[in-house]
Structure 1
Amino acid sequence: MALVLTEEQSMLRDSAHGLISDRAPVSHLRQLRDSNDATGFSRELWKTFAEMGFAGLLVPEEFGGSGLGAVEAGVVMEEIGRSLMPSPFLSTAVLAASALARGGSAAQKSDYLPKISAGSLLAAFAVDEGPKHRPLKTTLQAARSGNGFRLNGAKALVVDGHVADLLIVAARTTGQAGERDGLTLFLVDPKTRGIATERTIMVDSHNAARIEFDDVEVNADHVLGEVDQGFALLEGVLNIGRGAVASEMVGLSEEVFGRTVSYLKERKQFGKAIGEFQALQHRAAQLYIDIEITRAAVLKAQQALDGDISGAAAAVAVAKARAGATATRAVQEGVQMHGGMGMTDQFDIGFFMKRARVCEELFGDANFHADQLARMKSY
């Protein structure tokens, strides 16, 4: 399959770009940060997102969505990356919608997916428990109790967890940490007795939460997928999320590159634009090449996800690892080429550097995915 967008996907990109660039430039994030906004994003803008169909991109048509795929989600995420727009798109429209569409019962789909598509329900995916992404290391316990389960443990770095109306929680019903078998996904109301949520504003001024579960009771109807066999569903949804975050990093990298090239043309030293110095030209050219190669790798991974999600893990690992490395290089070059001013708060480059660092860690950094790929290839 050609590594280019179709006409329909290009139209989606243009539509997303028009809305996001107009309503959510980087100054929008700066304003939310400086005002200590309690939500951390614009609910009004999210409503507009839903009205334009973005919230339901991955929701099947019979539940009010568009029934599109990972490529289309990546198109929107790339535009989000260009402006650093704080939004529940990743947590709700990508992760939660994918999990419910792929693993939900008929009743669960009918209950939640139309609300996600309409923008009236926010959801969060609670997986990680420590500072690093290690889904197999899940230790949050789900012990059988009556006709349901009792949850005990804690989750960290739950993106948009402080505003979620629904939590999708990975828990261990059997086995030990590190084992694939024994993982189960649960749909949990965050207002359930025994849940304590602490908002944690990340270094990039986006939102996450730490959530503690103390004897939280859920019934069997709240199981998403199969008991003890939730890893395949979990990994598939995480790969969709990884592809989406990789697209965000592509958009972030390209925006930083564009801003840096513009600065190289404007900033004068020794009587000429610093962009005329060959050393800087070489560095800019290499970064451009890196971004284009990464863009192709990310699109390839998303096409693989849409084609056969069970066989897409290797392509996703390559894409996420490379996107993280490219974004890191882009923001480092951007800050350096802006000189000392690049580290000041009055310049937006610092916002991009912080977001790149968070995205690198989100759902596995380059080292995590290099290790995953090595294991797949039996190195």
Structure 2
Amino acid sequence: MDFNLSEEQQMLQDTVARVARDRYSFEQREQFYLSETGFSREFWNQLGELGLSAVPLREEYGGFGGSGVDSMLVMTELGRNLCLEPYLQSQIHGAGLLQQLGSADQRGQWLPQVATGELQLAVALEESQSHYLLHDVQSRAEAVEGGWRLTGHKCAVVGGHSAGLILVSARTAGGALDESGISLFLLDPKAAGVRRRDYPCIDGPRACDLYLDGVVLDQNHLLGPAGQALAALRYQQGRAVAAQCAEAIGNMQEAFSLTLDYLKTRQQFNAPIGKFQVLQHRMADMRGELELAISMATLAACIADEPDSDERSRGLAAAKFVVTRAARFIAEQAIQLHGGIGMTWEYNLAHHAKRLVMLSHQLGDDDHHLQAYADLMRNA
């Protein structure tokens, strides 16, 4: 198998790296974090102007028609620079659900706006009791004349505070934990009966809790057949997992580089501490974990867009498990090797470490994906 990037992929990677490096210094990121939106609107618009927002979307909707590897290249560079923009939630996860479940009219109406960055999406699937289970949905959607009435509560909607449309899962039939009866709706967060509670996450991005109190939506805001959304939710979460693994790789590579530079410059006993053999061994362990994580993230990117199958699901679960364990190990080792400075707010390593820890808990933690992998192996 040839793992070399094509000329177009190399150009894509170089473009994202250059834009993020020029427009997203650590000091600028701190300003974006404190802004009203919690990220840079200017940077988001520039991603659209350069066509980078269109990478994961199909060509018929103004997209680039990029593969999972193309998305990996974008997400790795965004992760390396600690970018706060909800690219994964909007361009990969949300747009993927809209492409898979939306009707021709729905896709034609909204996806071109997503491709240019004019419209930002968010995905509201988690509830306080669900613990990564996409079929554990207690929010309800009741059929009414001309549409649906939604009631319920969604939590930890990353990017939901600034999204123009939010994709919300709700139960239209069945009881708790039934795999059938789950539907997906496009929600205007400014609609009557919608309340958002916004807050910053510990690792930088912002999120919101979503409260739905009898929100009435017309029939055009239902995506796909009623009660049959779960398969698409699982498939597109797999694509989001692959992109998240790529983002974690960028963070890990930068954390490793920062730690290596620190060991080369920090003096103790009249010598750089990087000359101490025990610290060299720890750096070697970090490098080994990083290389293993890169291999698994690459595998996830290669299979992310394949047709749904147990083999695809096993590969994605294994990748998330390995990357999550490596991310936590590298974050902890980097902090230990830096000492106290590694925990200071003014030093970007602390922010990479926090981001890596939080990524390991989003879209399923390592225990969740290990159990999923084991269940799929038993079914093989």
Q: TM-score range by the shorter chain?
A: over 0.9
Q: What secondary structure sits across from 1:168 in the alignment?
A: strand
Q: Residue 28 of structure 1: CA displacement?
A: 2.4
> 1:328 — aligned with what?
328
Does 1:42 find its partner at 2:40?
A: yes
Name the SS of the counterpart of 2:192 in structure 1: coil
Query: What's the offset of the Cα at 1:60?
Result: 1.2
Matched, 1:116 2:109: no
The aligned counterpart of 2:53 is 55
Superimposed CA distance per residue, residues 191-212 of structure 1 (whole angstroms, 9 cap, x where no aligned partner): 1110001111101121111010
Correspondence for 2:8 = 8
User: What is the correspondence of 1:246-325 to structure 2 with a 5 Å cutoff?
Assistant: 246-310=245-309, 311-325=311-325
Aligned to 1:88: 86
Match of 2:207 in 1: 208
Secondary structure class of the residue paired with 1:190:
coil
1:197 aligns with: 196
In the TM superposition, what is the alpha-carbon distance from 1:5 to its structure 2 partner? 3.2
Match of 2:75 among 74, 77, 83: 77
Q: Which residue identity lines up with residue 39 of structure 2 in the other structure? A: F
Q: Does 1:159 align with 2:185?
A: no
Distance 1:7 1:241 in 2: 25
Give the counterpart letter for 1:184 in structure 2: S
The answer (yes or no) to whether the contact 1:25–1:85 under 8 Å persists in 2 is no
Residues of 2 paired with 1:127 and 1:2: CA distance? 37
Aligned equivalents of 1:253 and 1:37: distance in 2? 26
Q: In structure 2, do the counterparts of structure 1 residues 295 and 332 end up closer, same or farther at CA, with 3 Å as the change threshold?
A: same
> Amino acid of the residue matched to residue 234 of structure 2?
E
Q: Is the 8 A contact 1:28 1:85 kept in 2?
A: no
Kept after mapping to 2: 8 A contact 1:59/1:67: yes
- Measured in 1, the distance between the counterparts of 2:272 and 2:175 equals 60
Alpha-carbon distance, 1:287 to partner: 1.0
2:362 corresponds to which letter in structure 1? Answer: L
**Structure 2 residue 236 is matched with structure 1 residue 234:** no
In 2, Cα distance between the equivalents of 1:177 and 1:361? 23
1:226-277 Cα offsets, whole Å, 9 max, x none, are 2111011111111111111111101100100001000000011111111111
Alpha-carbon deviation of 1:4? Answer: 4.3
Alignment partner of 2:211: what SS? strand
* Contact 1:16/1:79 (<8 A) preserved: yes
How many aligned positions are there? 377
> Which deviates more, 76-85 or 140-149?
140-149
Alpha carbons of structure 1 residues 317 and 38: separation in structure 2 relative to 1, 3 Å:
same
CA-to-aligned-CA distance 1:260-319 (integer Å, 9 cap, x gap): 000000011111111111111111111111111111111111211223344521111111
Query: Which sections of structure 2, spanning at least 5 residues, go unmatched?
Result: none
Question: 3-state DSSP class of the match of 2:249?
Answer: helix
TM-score (structure 1 length as normaliser) = 0.96
Aligned residues of 1:324 and 1:360 also touching (Cα < 8 A): yes
Conserved 8 A contact 1:133-1:361: no
Q: Which secondary structure does the structure 2 equivalent of 1:378 belong to?
A: helix
Q: For 1:216, what is the secondary structure of its paired residue?
A: strand
Identity in percent = 33
Separation in 2 of the partners of 1:367 and 1:26? 32
1:343 is matched with 343
Name which of structure 1's ranges 47-56 and 217-226 shifts more when overlaid on structure 2: 217-226
**Is residue 239–residue 305 contact of structure 2 (8 Å, CA) maintained in 1?**
no
Aligned to 2:102: 104
Equivalent position SS for 1:321: helix
Question: Partners of 1:27 and 1:317 in 2: how far apart?
Answer: 36
- CA offset digits 1:74-111 (Å, max 9, x no partner): 11111111111111211211112111111210001110
Match of 2:124 among 99, 123, 126: 126
CA distance in structure 2 between the partners assigned to 1:44 and 1:346 by the alignment: 24
Report the secondary structure of 1:324's partner residue.
Answer: helix
Cα displacement string for residues 121-152 of structure 1 (whole angstroms, at most 9, x for unaligned residues): 01100000127423221111112122321111
Query: In the alignment, which residue of structure 1 is the partner of 2:143?
Result: 144
Distance in structure 2 (CA, Å) of the matches to 1:309 and 1:294: 23
Question: What is the one-letter code of the residue matched to 2:202?
Answer: V
Q: Give TM-score, length-normalised by structure 2.
A: 0.96
CA distance in 1, matches of 2:5, 2:305: 14
